[in-house]
Structure 1
């Protein structure tokens, strides 16, 4: 296993994670957290970097990635949940969202246009390029890791270095949101990036990429994937700290309502009109690499499950779906995807944590079944809440749970359910110490 392939795999994984959402969250956190910036960004990094990294490790330790993890609950659950994951983060949300953001925050920063026709023309070019980059899976690491990611990092570096030598650190008050429990608030911001779910798909992209480079031994695949994860995590930490710092020190005399406005304003302050071009290039590159990774992950997964169609046909299918959904507009995409994402995220986190935990305490089927069942109940209730449906009797008891007000009410009951399931299997001597490494 060559070091070059591992490094390029790490660069590729960094690009897959670093989409438009990851670009605009940290600057806004930096601006709002003020004097509590260190605590807030530490919490953000914990869930936006460390949790996805754990998911990458979890996938690398499983024989068949996400499918194997889900099958520990039940074989049918494994297949259905994997399909929901790939459709949610890919075709129905991640791909069209990234292309829409590339258009609205990238292209429109440079060229001021309106109406449906410019979006259609942009999406045709954008997805034509995405298709060309995705069609050959054996060259994905080379194309993204060797060329697109270094280009993205170079443009980001120009912004960071100029900002470092231009802006001056000054005391700034924290917004009301960050005046107490800044670490927890940052933790939740990182949680809502939902990169832990994306990691379940991206881990397979890296594993398949290493296989295409001739790495065949299970031990080497695990080592290569974990090292790639470390490289990506290191890059994300540096970039998040830099973006957060820009938001923290940026002088402004008008309200800036989100991270995109902060970065556009910072780019203009640093480079004039050229700043718009610089920011546009950053956004388009970030979104392009994310779309390439998502289409590759979805195409390879569905080719494995339903091999009737070839990988290339699935790439074409998901490219066309992405093109069509892009032109529905970002608001429509969010309306469709939000309930799905709310449903899958707690379940995905539970599966990631348990799949790592089992390597220390053994595999317990009831541990998976009990905890995932509880997480699913909470997820279903949260889905109803997205449609403004609330069951008063249930809502009252849920509000008594720790962290419920922060969207994490499911954590303690799910943990207790996992312990109960594990104890039940211990009593039946049904815990198996797995050799799956």
Structure 2
């Protein structure tokens, strides 16, 4: 008989997943959107939530329905199931997201409180990131305890701090929202959708599936159907929390127009905190950033280590944790500008493929009699993404005039038509040679 989860256990799993998603970027993006959208805040937020919350949660559900990320990738091809996850885990792990989290935690949680000379010294960043990733290493050694760490401790602290900030903004109003700027004025829903799309959290959703499954199993759930069901519940619970926090941050961002225009969300949040709490606002904001970056780092280290331990069984999980923490410390101190130059184009290339996989998994019951649709859809999407990445990275956008004929290319969704064309080709080939793909 399958073990039944209580509502309390589902809540803790949802809090854990929320904290794994909620990093520094998730603080910065909605605050910036709020100020830029101004009086068009609500339609812009609707679009943002649709993609920034919808895509990641659908990613968790897709992995749950498929059974595992490996099973989902295997529907394309066994070789693809080896290569694609490897690229994802390296890109969102030690190649970008983990070291960036450590660097941002230093910039927002430590540097403002150090003398100017010390804050800019390489030794300060090294000492901070060494301690930061040392703690990440220690807490990542026992992934089964993640529910207690995140669900019962760290996430409630982060949520409480954000709630305190919001309540203070109601008691002491920051100001009035301004007029919408740029595309937030002409097409607020679509611009908000694009902002959420660019968070690329759907990649993390695919990677976190293994961690969520492990956490649920550690609570005594062994039945695979029950496991999938609870993963879906956790995804929806985390999505609800993300939606609430994005609304709070977006509302405060919109009210910050009277504090002056800022270049990014970090500056906007700093201005808000100074307006609400004075000099102590920097301390509260630094704590929120540090905890958010810390939680994301632990979640990414655990998910990447579990993946690599499965891919290379001769190297145990705990050794992978050490390798990833050491690599992340090194990368964080090498300078993220160079890392971003390499990693961001790769992320941009694989993100459309990830979205296509999520969509195919969600409609799998309708297309499982079409054996080629996964292959052709991923192939067409991947070829476009590769061409676009080469165009932007190596060819100085020489191919842009030709690629811009594709609908929505200028908005960053040029892959949509190739994906639809690939799906159509797969359906046609499936009808010519019917065969059933294993569910």
Q: TM-score range by the shorter chain?
A: over 0.9
- Whether contact under 8 Å (1:364, 1:421) holds in the other structure is yes
Quote the Cα distance in structure 2 between the aligned partners of 1:371 and 1:245: 39
Aligned to 1:205: 211
Gaps of 5+ in 2: none
Quote the Cα distance in structure 1 between the aligned partners of 2:320 and 2:113: 33
Aligned to 1:23: 27
Aligned to 1:50: 54
Quick check: 247-256 or 230-239, which moved more? 247-256
- Whether contact under 8 Å (2:108, 2:289) holds in the other structure is yes
Quote the Cα distance in structure 1 between the aligned partners of 2:130 and 2:164: 29
Quote the Cα distance in structure 2 between the aligned partners of 1:246 and 1:282: 16
Q: CA deviation at 1:272?
A: 0.8
What pairs up with 1:226-305 in 2 under 5 angstroms? 226-305=232-311
What pairs up with 1:2-41 in 2 under 5 angstroms? 2-3=5-6, 4-41=8-45
Among 418, 424, 427, which residue is 2:429 paired with? 424
Quote the Cα distance in structure 1 between the aligned partners of 2:166 and 2:112: 19
Aligned to 1:151: 157
Corresponding position: 1:366 with 2:369: no
Aligned to 1:414: 419
Quick check: 351-360 or 117-126, which moved more? 351-360
Gaps of 5+ in 1: none
Among 80, 84, 87, which residue is 1:81 paired with? 84
- Whether contact under 8 Å (2:177, 2:256) holds in the other structure is no
Q: CA deviation at 1:255?
A: 2.8
Q: CA deviation at 1:253?
A: 4.5
Quick check: 100-109 or 239-248, which moved more? 100-109
Q: CA deviation at 1:330?
A: 2.3
Q: CA deviation at 1:214?
A: 1.3
- Whether contact under 8 Å (1:49, 1:236) holds in the other structure is yes
Aligned to 1:346: 352
- Whether contact under 8 Å (2:367, 2:373) holds in the other structure is no
SS in 2 for 1:120: helix
Q: CA deviation at 1:363?
A: 4.9
Aligned to 1:101: 104
Deviations 1:207-254, CA, capped at 9 Å, x for gaps: 111112211001210111111111100100000000000010125343
- Whether contact under 8 Å (1:96, 1:333) holds in the other structure is no
Quote the Cα distance in structure 1 between the aligned partners of 2:350 and 2:273: 36
Among 58, 61, 70, which residue is 1:67 paired with? 70
Quote the Cα distance in structure 1 between the aligned partners of 2:261 and 2:34: 14
- Whether contact under 8 Å (1:342, 1:382) holds in the other structure is no
RMSD: 1.5
Among 369, 376, 381, which residue is 2:382 paired with? 376
Given the two structures, how large is their TM-score scaled by the length of structure 2? 0.95
- Whether contact under 8 Å (1:425, 1:431) holds in the other structure is no
Aligned to 1:214: 220
Quote the Cα distance in structure 1 between the aligned partners of 2:182 and 2:101: 31
Q: CA deviation at 1:424?
A: 1.4
Task: Kindly tell me the number of residue pairs found equivalent between the two proteins.
Answer: 432
Aligned to 2:331: 325
Quote the Cα distance in structure 1 between the aligned partners of 2:131 and 2:396: 44
Quote the Cα distance in structure 1 between the aligned partners of 2:137 and 2:104: 18
Quick check: 285-294 or 409-418, which moved more? 409-418
Quote the Cα distance in structure 1 between the aligned partners of 2:81 and 2:307: 13
Relative distance call for 1:195 and 1:201 in structure 2 (3 A) is: same
Quote the Cα distance in structure 1 between the aligned partners of 2:343 and 2:377: 24
Q: CA deviation at 1:384?
A: 1.5
Q: CA deviation at 1:177?
A: 2.9
Quote the Cα distance in structure 2 between the aligned partners of 1:266 and 1:239: 16
Quote the Cα distance in structure 1 between the aligned partners of 2:285 and 2:46: 25
Relative distance call for 1:299 and 1:253 in structure 2 (3 A) is: closer
